[in-house]
Amino acid sequence: MTNEAATGTIGRYASPWIARMPFPSLHTPRLLLQPLQLADAEQIQPLFAQWEVVRYLNAQVPWPCPADGALRYLRDVALPAMAAGTEWHWTLRLLDEPEEVIGVVSLMDTPGNNRGFWIAPAWQRQGLMSEACVAVNRYWFEVLQRPLMQVPKAVDNIASQRLSMREGMRLMETGESDYVCGRLPSQIWALSREEWLNRQT
Ligand SMILES: CC(C)(COP(=O)(O)OP(=O)(O)OC[C@H]1O[C@@H](n2cnc3c(N)ncnc32)[C@H](O)[C@@H]1OP(=O)(O)O)[C@@H](O)C(=O)NCCC(=O)NCCS
């Protein structure tokens, strides 16, 4: 890590939020989930700016991704929301490679959209996001004490759908939404705190 990154500055940008860790790191058997920091933008930019990662994300994500897209998103959207206590973003890192970011998982107090995630293609299909979701779901229901988790997704996003099904989520709503790849049938899946608690035994 460069000195600039360590002190929370990249080029001419500086973040007043970098020193604050408003919520803890989480651990899973294979992963360290570390609260997002401005310095992560450097690693996130090339991983996120890939068609396989963004195609089923909300159309608000610009494509092609601008060269400073990650930095702008972290600085202007994610870090202020973390400081305001309305969003919780963690980078995913393998426990044995803790310096390397491989994805992001997020919780949000946005109605109908409480969790988001992506993991770079090289680390997909290894059960890693399912593992990360066990930890962040626990944070949502146990620490944040939220009564319900709702997650939107494109019907074509089979991986995301299977992950929700495996978690015991139920399909609540269907419709259409605009994604980076265009307008597609969409779904909202949900899990209540009670349903989540019943699955913990
Ligand atoms: C969705 C995503 C985060 C899943 O991450 P992952 O670490 O690969 O997921 P897991 O390995 O934990 O697998 C979850 C389930 O999806 C299945 N799966 C994973 N990738 C798949 C694929 N490409 N095609 C079909 N099924 C897939 C797994 O087999 C598993 O199903 P199972 O539990 O029934 O066996 C990842 O594909 C991704 O980053 N996609 C791009 C970003 C995105 O679409 N985010 C979600 C927006 S709603």
Residue 55 belongs to a domain with what CATH number? 3.40.630.30
Which residue range(s) make up the domain with 17? 3-146
The per-residue pLDDT for 21 is 59
Tell me the average pLDDT of the chain: 92
- Tell me, yes or no, whether 47 lies in a domain: yes
For ligand 1, say whether the CB of 119 is within 6 Å of any of its atoms.
yes
- Tell me, yes or no, whether 195 lies in a domain: no
The per-residue pLDDT for 110 is 97
For ligand 1, say whether the CB of 129 is within 6 Å of any of its atoms.
yes
User: Domains in the chain: how many in total?
Assistant: 1
Question: Which residue has the least CA distance to atom 18 on ligand 1?
Answer: 159
Q: Give the pLDDT band (50/70/90) at residue 11.
A: very low
pLDDT (mean) for 2-20: 41
* pTM summary value: 0.92
Q: How far is the CA of 5 from the centre of ligand 1 (A)?
A: 31
Nearest to 160, CA basis, from 117, 111, 123, 190:
117
d(CA 139, CA 152): 19
**Tokens found for residue 12:** 């001419």
- Tell me, yes or no, whether 44 lies in a domain: yes
- Tell me, yes or no, whether 106 lies in a domain: yes
Positive or negative torsion for Cα 144, 146, 152, 158? positive
Q: How far is the CA of 189 from the centre of ligand 1 (A)?
A: 15
- Tell me, yes or no, whether 153 lies in a domain: no
For ligand 1, say whether the CB of 117 is within 6 Å of any of its atoms.
yes
**Tokens found for residue 97:** 């490679």
Q: How far is the CA of 92 from the centre of ligand 1 (A)?
A: 15
Question: Which residue has the least CA distance to atom 48 on ligand 1?
Answer: 153
For ligand 1, say whether the CB of 53 is within 6 Å of any of its atoms.
yes
Angle at CA 156, nearest 5°, toward 177 and 101? 90
Ligand 1 pocket mutation, candidates 119, 126, 164, 184, criterion most atoms within 8 A of CB: 119
Q: Enter the DSSP assignment of 76.
A: I
- Tell me, yes or no, whether 10 lies in a domain: yes
- Tell me, yes or no, whether 158 lies in a domain: no
Q: Over the stretch 22-56, which tens digit does the pLDDT of each residue have?
A: 799 999 999 999 999 999 999 999 999 999 999 99
- Tell me, yes or no, whether 161 lies in a domain: no
